[in-house]
Amino acid sequence: MAAGPALPSDSRLADVAALDASHAWAVGYQGSTYGGPEPERPYALLSWDGSRWAEQTLLDKPTSLGAVGASSADSVWVLGDDAYRALAYAARWDGSAWHAYRPFPDDHYVGLNDVAVTGRDHAWMVGGSTGRPFIAEWDGQGFKRVFTGTNTGPTSARLMAVTADGASDAWAVGRTNDEPLIMHWDGTSWSETPTPSIAGGELWGVHKISANDVWAVGAIDRESLTPKPLLLHWNGTTWRSVTPPVAAGALYGVTGDQSGRLWVSSYNNAKTTFLRYVDGQWTAVAAPTSSDRSPFVQNLASVPGTTATWAVGTAGSQYVIALNGALG
């Protein structure tokens, strides 16, 4: 466990990104973000310098932060909500300062859930808008909508996660029409990719190892008392359903390295289990518990150039930052 700065009880970290052993960022919120007077620093933004986590300050305060992505130490993005203005929020670190944006100030219905940074002047952002999946692009000059899907009815469609490692290949996942939704960028346009028909399925995480090796995770019937894990794999031709090593619960975060090793966070009955994929085999590993309760791990990030993995979330009344070098 890596110690972080003191945050109020009931704080949560929602996402983490790492460039190497000396550069990582984690985002979330401090305490309760709703109700009562506006807190002074409701969001949580932490940075890792190789030896400790330190809190960073945004001049234009969002209500909470839910996503972070980075391509270099001078190209970092965080996304969140500005609930007091009912607008989506984004901020960019250029190596010396944070720059805040309301990407679509005339649209109070855009929510941005994840970001993939592909260069100093480019990033993909995904979410939802009026019940429809939504993709936006930052081109170094401003934001533009590149895809807005259709409203599929009472179960709102949205994109929850995006992964990309260059200009010509990106994946975004979520749900539509109460089934999993997967979008692909081929360097020219975004298009929906056929997926297995899974009623009640939705995807929350995606990780690309190579053009022929992509993993997506989520759950079936998440809001029921008995959700089931959802694990999909892209082999370069089709998406196929894979049986995970746990039969119940929901899958949240997924990360991996270029050797093909993967880690997935699973949560069921107030207990986190890590799913490990090595040499073509999935196994389940129990997460460590605290005196309060088992942590809820919302997201993971492998540390390039090492066998370490960052895990973030919450445990009882405390937030969690964990680094486990044995995960690799």
Which residues of the chain fall below pLDDT 70?
A: 1-3, 32-41, 151-155, 289-293, 324-328
What are the two backbone dihedrals, phi and then psi, of residue 327, each rounded to the nearest 5 degrees?
A: -65, -30
Residue 305 gets the label, from left (phi > 0), alpha (psi -120 to 50) or beta, of left
Q: Provide the pLDDT for residue 187.
A: 94
In a domain, 33, yes or no: yes
Inter-residue contact 67 to 53 (CB < 8 Å): no
Question: Residue 233 is encoded by which pair of tokens?
Answer: 């794999």
Please count the residues of the chain.
328
Assess if residue 43 is contained within a domain: yes
Position 242 in a domain: no
**35: phi > 0 → left, psi -120 to 50 → alpha, else beta; which?**
left
User: Would 38 be classed as within a structural domain?
Assistant: yes
- Residue 1 inside a domain? The answer is yes
In a domain, 36, yes or no: yes
**What pLDDT score was predicted for residue 36?**
45
Measured CA to CA in angstroms, residue 232 lies from 105, 204, 208, 243, 280 at distances of 36, 11, 12, 9, 14
Sign of CA dihedral 163, 222, 251, 111: positive
| Structural domain contains residue 13 | yes
Reported as type and span, the H/E element at residue 256 is strand 250-256
Structural domain including 69 reads 1-102
Asked if residue 88 is part of any domain, the answer here is yes
Q: Are 183 and 159 in contact (CB under 8 A)?
A: yes
Residue 3 backbone dihedrals phi, psi, to 5 degrees: -70, 140
CATH code of the domain containing 65: 2.40.10
Tokens of 242: 């894979």
Instruction: Give the pLDDT score at 195.
Output: 96
- Cα 6 to Cα 1: distance, rounded to the nearest angstrom: 14
> In a 10 Å sphere around its CB, with 0-12 CB exposed, 13-18 middle and 19+ buried, how is residue 216 labelled?
buried
| Count of structural domains, the chain | 1
Q: How far is CA 31 from CA 16, 79, 248, in A?
A: 18, 18, 29
- Alpha carbon dihedral 17, 74, 47, 264, in 10-degree steps, equals 0
d(CA 28, CA 48): 15
Q: What span, in angstroms and rounded, lies between the C-alpha atoms of 81 and 89?
A: 5
Phi–psi pair at 326, nearest 5 degrees: -85, -5
CB 66 within 8 A of CB 15: yes
**Paired tokens of 148:** 């807005």
